[in-house]
Amino acid sequence: MPLDLNAMPKAELHMHLEGALEPELMFKLARRNGIELPFPDVDSLRSAYSFGNLQAFLNLFFQGAEVLRTEDDFYDLTRAYVAKCRDQNVTHVEPFFDPQTHTGRGVPMAAVIRGITRALAEAHEDWGLSYGLILCFLRHLSEDAAQHALDAALPFRDHFVGVGLDSSESGFPPSKFRNVFARARDLGLHAVAHAGEEGPPSYVWEALDELGVVRVDHGVRAMEDRSLVQRLQREQMPLTVCPLSNVRLKVYDSMAQHPVLDMLEQGLKVTVNSDDPAYFGGYLTENFAALREGLGMSDEQAVRLAENSFDAALPGLAVNR
């Protein structure tokens, strides 16, 4: 009997809550908030989920997020995600949220953070999910804007444990955000950043050396730089790899080309994650299943990847494993 990938306990360290907005919930929230979506129905929206690159996806992702207006909307979104976690035996999560995507449209920071943390805290109470929330800065905006986002979130400092960096990568190097990351680290927040998804290996070096990250999100393009790979091996720097996302966003042509198992066998601290599960064809179990199907992942490799996901949790969290 092959290992049951769904029943295997696992942690998710790289997912964007806004990326868990399934079309059905998007339509429901649009109706609730009196918003007209530019798609007639759920099926036509889903059929638009074909992306040539990261930017093509982000355009739809930001448009979809516009239905999120109230604290209850963020609660419903997060509740749907944690329900999936329960179904898939994901016992620890460190989700991202993008406050600037919402505050830029006039949604109060309080509504965003309170809605998200209400659902996370309930899942903790109800069935023992452990979690740490990560506030991401949008890298296509300025460092000043990131500083303002951090200011606005500080009244809720006890609701999040880290800061991250996401959105369009190419042309927006991590070094642009060195000051706001330094301030966040001074506040006791952990730093992570997307680097080496579409951007070059130099962005991974910058995330390490200029942002002081404790984990690199994606990082797959680090494989192009031998001395970077050696450093990541030596430091056992966790890399939160997102297989279905990388294929959907054409980082690789097919799962058969994905390097995640080679990375694992080279002794890199890789983990498997869903990134934006509503847009990329699945949650954590589906990502593991795609590795078995497309790359012949063994049960032993699956277990090692799951163990890595717990080992790579942010320091200081009580992790349920």
What residue ranges bind Zn ion (CB under 5 A)?
Answer: 275
Cα angle: 128, vertex 134, 140; to 5 degrees: 150
Give how far the C-alpha of residue 308 lies from the chain's centroid of Cα atoms, to the nearest Å: 16
For residue 206, the partner it binds in Zn ion, ligand ADE, none, with Cβ less than 5 to 8 A by kind, is: none
Answer yes or no: 197 catalytic: yes
Give yes or no for a contact between 165 and 143, defined as CB atoms under 8 angstroms apart. no
Site string for ligand ADE, 192-211 (x = CB under 6 A): --x--x--------------
User: Which CB sits closer to Zn ion, 20 or 67?
Assistant: 20
**Residue 94 sits in the site that holds ligand ADE (CB under 6 A):** no
Say how far apart CA 39 and CA 10 lie, in whole Å: 35
How many residues at the interface with ligand ADE, by CB under 6 A?
A: 11
The CB-of-125 to Zn ion minimum distance in angstroms stands at 28
| Least spacing, CB of residue 173 vs ligand ADE, in Å | 14
Residue 264's nearest CA partner among 234, 224, 214, 304 is 304
Picking from 163, 220, 217, the residue whose alpha carbon sits closest to that of residue 190 is 163
Q: Toward ligand ADE, which CB reaches closer, 44 or 59?
A: 59
Return the residue of 78, 103, 245, 274 that touches ligand ADE, per CB under 6 A. 245
Interactions with ligand ADE, residue window 4-43 (CB under 6 A): 16, 19
C-alpha span between 270 and 263 (Å, rounded): 7
146-165: contacts with ligand ADE (CB under 6 A): none
Distance of CA 142 to the CA centre of its chain: 21
The answer for residues whose C-beta is within 8 angstroms of residue 286's C-beta and 6 or more apart is: 244, 274, 277
Report, in Å, the least distance between residue 7 CB and ligand ADE. Answer: 27
Paired sense of beta strands 96-97 and 134-138, if any? parallel
Q: Which residue's CB comes closest to ligand ADE?
A: 166
Residue nearest Zn ion, Cβ-based: 275
Which tokens is 315 given? 């320091």
Residue closer to Zn ion (CB basis): 13 or 37: 13
Which of the following is catalytic: 18, 22, 169, 197?
Answer: 197
Nearer to ligand ADE, 8 or 284 (CB): 284
Q: What are phi and psi of 253, to 5 degrees?
A: -70, -30
Q: Does 275 bind ligand ADE (CB under 6 A)?
A: yes
Residue 191 in contact with residue 213, Cβ under 8 Å? yes
Minimum CB distance to ligand ADE smaller for 17 or for 314: 17
If we measure between CA atoms, which residue out of 222, 243, 250 comes closest to residue 234?
A: 222
- Catalytic positions, written as ranges: 197
Contact residues for ligand ADE, defined by CB under 6 A: 16, 19, 54, 61, 166-167, 194, 197, 245, 275-276
